[in-house]
Structure 1
């Protein structure tokens, strides 16, 4: 009488067990965004941390789901802090390997640009380019039948970008990583921009590094003609007589830069440069000086790696007297005010913007090397093409004088 119900009960138990087995062994597949590169970090993370989760996951810190797809057990093992530290080291190593692979690939590109020659405008930013409307006008000159430029943006992914990049800046952000002022991360960011520009278009002949506070002080046709006509030259400030040169050299510790970088080879200069394709390849292919300049600093007040690395590298690598490296920046900046001693140049405010300011930039001449224009071996003089540092509130007065002053040469 009781044989059938007991059999049925056993069958139900067996089905329940199988259903539980199949549901517990099913895992989610990680689908990376089509707009992002597949990095070793993502692959390693998915392998280290299983995707199964407890029914009620514990609260996690922001972005924890990105680094650790699976939630932690309710009672973490004592070694958990050690695992987190090891994971950070692994991620840093993977980032370094990823950059090295990119740089190696870019160093194999053709050093001679194809025609028509183009200008690569590279923006290194942590903001959504507050002066972008002015640049929009700059990049859309009348009667231009051919695109003679490319735009590349390195945007710190840890910062907010509202409003997002739009117009000519839409879709121009390269795979980027966090950056900090007075930190080797700015060197890496500039090298990523150079690498992406080298690989993207073989017509890129000149590479202009810009900040979000930079503006053009000439029209696009004027700047294009100036740079295209001297596309075998680079413009980068190279200074050896700065008062803080010794303390900057020793910022990582006495003797740390030796033997690769001797003090008499060490140089400083503005981080904003214009490089030829030949010198852009030289920068991304460097493996000799970078290990020294990426070292941590003991004195953070004199350690501005982004102002040391490029000037020192070009100074050491270029042939003496070859005339291909002009020791001056084409981006005007005012260090004469009292606040300049704290590591920041003058920041222009709306009430200072007017036709007289732009004309003043144009009439000024870059300093060539250490002793002014007389130290530059060539008889050619070059004008400033860009200027910084403008606050976001300067946009309105800049737009008012854009057509009649800034873009009228």
Structure 2
């Protein structure tokens, strides 16, 4: 039998094991748990601060290395007012590509959700000064809100118009335009595109520095605004100055039977103006294959619009010219030509169709008038021109 001492030792072992087991299962002290939680919270906060600082550092580094070059061409449209507001000046940072794209926006819904007074945009395509500006000033006086003015001249020309003039600050950003070349059509598209930025402009009249109005503003506004058609000459001329200028490299976009000729001095409505500035299909053909002695300004717009919207053209111009002396340019009228009899002959010879009905008013403008014609024109304007 085991001795009493051995039994005592074995019993002591069991008691110690039970004691150790009980002590290992005892919960941790509350103070130790609190200290552990504090370290855990501090570690979490530190990790958040570190992540935020890293993100800020990365963002600043990216901005410093690659600054943004984005500059909006126009103010973001946050309301309808920002779309319809008319700019006081015509200077902007858009190039032609951006300008034509912006101007091609066209409202499909015909009813405007705001009060809109339709205006006529008078677009002056000039080499430099406007020597007949005083006569046009008389024409425009008293009709504010019904017209707007745009001038395209040589980039180096600085206009001397005072703030009281209707022509003050009305020059668009321009480029050199050469007679008979595509740069002339580019200038006309530039005028149209700038005018289209004003949502109130409904009709667009292209005139030169040698043009004059033949009627007063009221008649001109009524005649244009009530017309069912746009006024652009578009004729199929079979001679050497018509079909003789056609280049077969323009096929298949433009065929010989579609080739047209007309005066560059047009009056178009907003729909056709958009057709002109948005065109990228026919433009390359005319630029590459209609060069002197093919004068692109006489063929590009008439041909393109006849292909796209022939039913909207009146097939005549509203600007009278005199080709009776022949040559590459019409007759220029000077001081000695300006008499009452001169205008009487012009008006008596008029006969045409207006909205498919016979009319004795066929021309609203005329050219070419020399600077010397200004004084007699100013003296006779109230009597023979009505303003």
TM-score using structure 2 length? 0.70
The residue number in structure 1 matching 2:213 is 216
- After superposition, residues 148-167 of structure 1 pair within 5 angstroms as 148-158=146-156, 160-161=157-158, 163-164=160-161, 167=165
Match of 1:398 among 377, 382, 385: 377
The reply to whether residue 351 of structure 1 matches residue 330 of structure 2 is no
Deviations 1:57-109 (A, max 9, x none): xxxxxxxxxxxxxxxxxxxxxxxxxxxxxxxxxxxxxxxxx322211211113
> What value does the CA root-mean-square deviation take over the aligned residues?
2.3
Shift of 1:289: 0.5
Instruction: Find the aligned partners of 1:360 and 1:397 in 2 and give their Cα distance.
Output: 17
Shift of 1:198: 0.8
8 Å Cα contact 1:128/1:164 also seen in 2:
no
Decide whether aligned partners of structure 1 residues 377 and 384 sit closer, same or farther in structure 2, where only a CA change above 3 A counts. Answer: closer
Match of 1:237 among 233, 239, 251: 233
Instruction: Find the aligned partners of 1:334 and 1:406 in 2 and give their Cα distance.
Output: 19
The residue number in structure 2 matching 1:269 is 262
Decide whether aligned partners of structure 1 residues 262 and 113 sit closer, same or farther in structure 2, where only a CA change above 3 A counts. Answer: farther
Instruction: Find the aligned partners of 1:297 and 1:119 in 2 and give their Cα distance.
Output: 31
8 Å Cα contact 1:206/1:277 also seen in 2:
yes
Look up the SS of the partner of 2:199 in the other structure: coil
The reply to whether residue 306 of structure 1 matches residue 291 of structure 2 is no
Q: Which has the larger radius of gyration?
A: 2
Deviations 1:282-310 (A, max 9, x none): 11111111011112656x2x221111111
Gaps of at least 5 residues in structure 2 are 1-88
The reply to whether residue 326 of structure 1 matches residue 314 of structure 2 is yes
8 Å Cα contact 2:155/2:174 also seen in 1:
yes
Instruction: Find the aligned partners of 1:294 and 1:403 in 2 and give their Cα distance.
Output: 44
- After superposition, residues 3-402 of structure 1 pair within 5 angstroms as 36-38=91-93, 98-110=95-107, 112=110, 115-141=116-142, 144=143, 146-158=144-156, 160-161=157-158, 163-164=160-161, 167-199=165-197, 201-230=198-227, 232-241=228-237, 243=239, 244-250=241-247, 255-295=248-288, 300=292, 302-319=293-310, 322=311, 324-337=312-325, 340-341=326-327, 343-365=328-350, 378-381=356-359, 382-402=361-381
Shift of 1:37: 3.8
Shift of 1:403: 1.4
Decide whether aligned partners of structure 1 residues 156 and 366 sit closer, same or farther in structure 2, where only a CA change above 3 A counts. Answer: farther
How many residues are treated as equivalent by the alignment?
A: 292
Shift of 1:38: 3.9
Shift of 1:35: 7.8
Look up the SS of the partner of 2:202 in the other structure: strand
Shift of 1:246: 2.7
Deviations 1:342-381 (A, max 9, x none): x1000111101112222333233367xxxxx6xx992354
Decide whether aligned partners of structure 1 residues 198 and 366 sit closer, same or farther in structure 2, where only a CA change above 3 A counts. Answer: farther
Deviations 1:165-195 (A, max 9, x none): 7611001011111111111011111111111
Decide whether aligned partners of structure 1 residues 366 and 169 sit closer, same or farther in structure 2, where only a CA change above 3 A counts. Answer: farther
TM-score using structure 1 length? 0.67
Instruction: Find the aligned partners of 1:153 and 1:329 in 2 and give their Cα distance.
Output: 20
Decide whether aligned partners of structure 1 residues 292 and 348 sit closer, same or farther in structure 2, where only a CA change above 3 A counts. Answer: same
Decide whether aligned partners of structure 1 residues 366 and 205 sit closer, same or farther in structure 2, where only a CA change above 3 A counts. Answer: farther
Decide whether aligned partners of structure 1 residues 217 and 113 sit closer, same or farther in structure 2, where only a CA change above 3 A counts. Answer: farther
The residue number in structure 1 matching 2:16 is none
